[in-house]
Structure 1
């Protein structure tokens, strides 16, 4: 019997590759209205739908504590939106854990906010993406004050001063990045007269 002939695999340029479907914010919201995401927690980054795992008790408690504290700090004339859509552009709806923007709730009865005065994400399993991909989207949207509450390591990251990245990258990042311990106090840029103890935000 002659030896078997092995056919080499196709060249990299012709090898089959999985295709990633890109979605717009409009399509993403329409899918949600049809019930595609019932019981799930998706968000959209650069046209790709990401799914977060079920919200565990520390994450849920932190979102509640943040909402209580931030409402006291900002008061009337500000809208505090927990885990609601935000339309950064046609390809991005990061759905932040907490968004603060000047105005009234009815200002967003037709369109979602496109920027914010303060955004806070709670990180238990999402710290890396919150400090990278999401930070880049928020900076590009002109969000001047972005906080990430790390409930695992009990720290608060505060990112400020968004600035364009080097030419050609087409993105923006935060130049001022600080990390705070539970015993530290932090003031939002939009409410500098008030401050909050980091430990009061942690579950």
Structure 2
């Protein structure tokens, strides 16, 4: 399921609205509740003026809630920052990709995307 700029329930006081989420299927399409961290397969933020916030505060929030894969479309540097493998307060894996590269989703390995198609 795809979610665009909809709330994500992270604990009792945090409800960010990521630019894009790929969610696990849900029988009622999340109409009775907001998705939670366990529902997320991929979370994407598109960033230019909010780059520092997205690379720091949002990244920390997402890793603390075990979001398995966080992509940051860094429009300033024209790259895709891919964060995977949440481990405590940091992602164990960070990869920076550029137009010409491709990326495969860690949760859905059959899906590969050209970075130039999303930047």
Q: Same fold (TM over 0.5)?
A: yes
Structure 1 residues 9-158: aligned runs within 5 Å: 79-104=1-26, 106-115=28-37, 116-158=40-82
Larger strand proportion of the pair: 2
The answer to whether 1:189 aligns with 2:111 is no
Query: How many Å separate the matches in 1 of 2:33 and 2:110?
Result: 31
Deviations, residues 54-77 of structure 1 (Å, cap 9, x unaligned): xxxxxxxxxxxxxxxxxxxxxxxx
Distance in 1, Cα, partners of 2:74 & 2:46: 6
Mapped contact 1:114–1:141 kept (Cα < 8 A): no
Higher helix share: 1
Task: Identify unmatched segments of 5+ residues in structure 2.
Answer: none
Unaligned runs of 5+ in 1: 1-78, 165-171
Aligned to 1:174: 91
Q: Judge which range, 130-139 or 98-107, deviates more.
A: 98-107
Give every structure 1 segment of 4 or more consecutive aligned residues whose post-TM-superposition deviation is greater than 4 Å.
none
State TM-score, norm by structure 2.
0.92
TM-score normalised to the size of structure 1? 0.55
Q: How many positions carry a matched residue from both structures?
A: 117
Residue 129 of structure 1: how far off its partner (Å): 1.1
Give the Cα–Cα distance (whole angstroms) in 1 for the partners of residues 73 and 14 of structure 2.
Answer: 22
Q: Please state whether the residue corresponding to 2:18 is helix, strand or coil.
A: coil
**Bigger-Rg structure (1/2):** 1
